Each structure stands twice: as C-alpha cells, then as structure tokens.
Amino acid sequence: MRLSLLDRSRTRHAYPESAALEHSVQRAVEVEQLGYGRFWVAEHHTVPGIASGSPAVLLAAIGARTARIRLGSGGVMLPNHRPLVVAEQFRMLAALYPGRIDLGLGRSLGFTEPVRHALGRLEASPEAFAGEIAEVRGYLEDSAALTARPADAGEVPLFVLATGSGVDAAAELGLPVVIGGPFLDSPELPDRLAAYRRAFRPHRGSTAQVIVSVDALIADTDAEARELSLPEVWAMVRSRSTGAFGVLEPVARIREAAPGDREARRVERGLDAAVTGSARTVRRRLDELVERTGAQEVLATGVTYDRQALTSSDRELARLLLG
C-alpha cells in the first residue's frame, strides 16, 4: 500500500496565519524522512482556516527544502484558472524538481458567491471540467497548438479529484481518480468505482488507479485519537452556522465553548466519520476501506491543533502502512 499526505496549511489559534505555510514546509520535510510517497497541498481562497491559495507557490518552497518526495496539488481547482497558465506553472515546477511533480485537478468553486465573483467563475459543469483537463494535458504533452514552457521539463502526471461525475471524467480521460469525503460513505461508491474501471480508456498505457483520501489520525488509544480529531471537526461544524471555515482551536478551548445539542450531535457524527484511533483500530478501518474500494494508495489528510501529536500520528501511520 502506497502512503501519501495532503496538507491544507491549516491556520491555528494564537499563531499568525502565515505560520501555517512554514508548518506545511516542515511537515513535508518530516514525512519525506518517514518514507511517504507524495506530499500534496491545497487551494482555497479567502478561507480564515487555510493559508494556501496558490499550490504552485507553496510547492516551489517545499521543493527547495526536500529532495525525494513527490510534490503535487490536491488540487488545483481548474475552474479558477486558464489551462495554459496551470500547465506553465507545473512545467516550471517540473523543471526545478525533475521527476517529482504531480498535478491533481478539481472543479470546486469558491466557498461563497463573492469569492466566486472575484475568481470570475460562477459555474463549472462536468463537461467543461473534462474539457479543461484535456486542454491542460494537451499543453503538458505537447499536442496542443501552443507549447507550454519550458518544453523540456519532463512528465507531469495528472490526477482527478472526484466525486460523482468526476469519476466519469477520469475514466473517459484515462486518469487516476482521488476520492474522499462523504463520497467514501456513499452506498453507490462500489458501483461507481466498478463503472470507472469498466469505462476506463487507457491513455498512453495508463491503467485505472484509485487513491482514497481519508482523515486519518493515530494516538495511543481510540479516545485520545478522537480528541485529536475534534479541532478539525469543530471547525467544520461551526462553519455551518458562521459561514466561515475557521482556525484550528485547542481541545480545551473547544470544550469551554460548550456546544449546543445540535452542534454536539454534528460533532459526534464528524468524529465517527474520521479514521482515527489506536494503530490497531486505524489499520482495521483502512483495510476495510481498501477492500471496499480496491484502492492502491492512501492519501492521509488528518490534522489537529497539537503539532507534536500530529507529528507522532504521521510517524505511526508510516509505521503502520510502510513497515
């Protein structure tokens, strides 16, 4: 089983927002030493809880501090960009860090209407998304009318971050698919993945690949790991009432906030959904997920306020899956 990590540059209570970027760089250095295969970063705009709005910029900084681990985006939200610009950015990265750059593409728009207006895109149909992926690939493979520079940068593998129709686009284009979030719990997931494999149209020798993105955290006990998950789940629950996805807060501060009954129920559901626990518990849940999806790779996305506990969890996850 291959193991990779998606870090979203989460901001933390009592830290400057900019510190989240250095935290991401430091985490990449650490997981490279642990043997993780990839380190991906995210794209979110004007979100208080996330400092990364430009994956290419952050990846350039991470590349300068690492030597072997593959670096990529989870993902570049293609509706926000012209395909040529995306191809140029990632060819530049591939020239700077040869053989190490991935390009994960998603179609999420901004969280709010003002953000979508600012980005200049109010909708992104599945058909348009598939067409724009193909356009990016054309530039990267030198089959387009224009040449993205530098032309000798080498291969940049593409991945599709998908829910629902995105799986169909990945099959049509012959690309690996990354699935996560509520889609992992969907009753239709096995059928959708079976359809993906049946409909897969190989491109230049490609084969169907499934990567599962999971909020995985390991601690000594299941109860301790559940506590580690609380800051991220709390931020998500609070966003439903505040309209903003906020910073990670310490567990003690969250407990003092005394969530109401409705919020408390939502928190419990969120904690149940995360793949957290002791090493034995997490191994069992990951084995079940891999069996259900036929995934070849786990893309861990777990995060918590306590950075020391997060480092320990990353280390234990590597020990669990990589030996």
Overall size of the chain counted in residues:
323
Contact indicator for 58, 93 with CB cutoff of 8 Å: no
pLDDT in tens, the chain (323 residues): 899 999 999 999 999 999 999 999 999 999 999 999 999 999 999 999 999 999 999 999 999 999 999 999 999 999 999 999 999 999 999 999 999 999 999 998 887 889 999 999 888 899 999 999 999 999 999 999 999 999 999 999 999 998 777 899 999 999 999 999 888 988 999 999 999 999 999 999 999 999 999 999 999 999 999 999 999 999 999 998 888 999 999 999 999 988 889 999 999 999 999 999 999 999 999 999 999 999 999 999 999 999 999 999 999 999 999 98
Q: Residue 7 belongs to what H/E stretch?
A: strand 2-7
Q: What is the pLDDT of residue 106?
A: 95
Q: Where are the alpha helices (DSSP H) in the chain?
A: 19-34, 55-65, 83-96, 113-119, 126-140, 165-173, 189-199, 222-242, 251-256, 261-273, 279-293, 307-322
**pTM of this prediction?**
0.97
Looking at residue 267, its pLDDT comes to: 96
- Give the per-residue pLDDT at 111: 79
Determine the pLDDT at residue 124.
84
The predicted structure's pLDDT at residue 258: 80
Delineate the domains of the chain, giving CATH numbers in brackets.
2-217+277-322 (3.20.20.30)
pLDDT at position 214: 97
Q: In sequence order, which residues have a C-beta less than 8 Å from that of residue 265 and are 6 or more positions away?
A: none
| Pairing assessment for the beta strands 297-300 and 210-214 based on DSSP bridges | parallel
pLDDT, residue 113, reads 87
Which candidate, 1, 9, 33, 60, places its Cα nearest to that of 248? Answer: 9
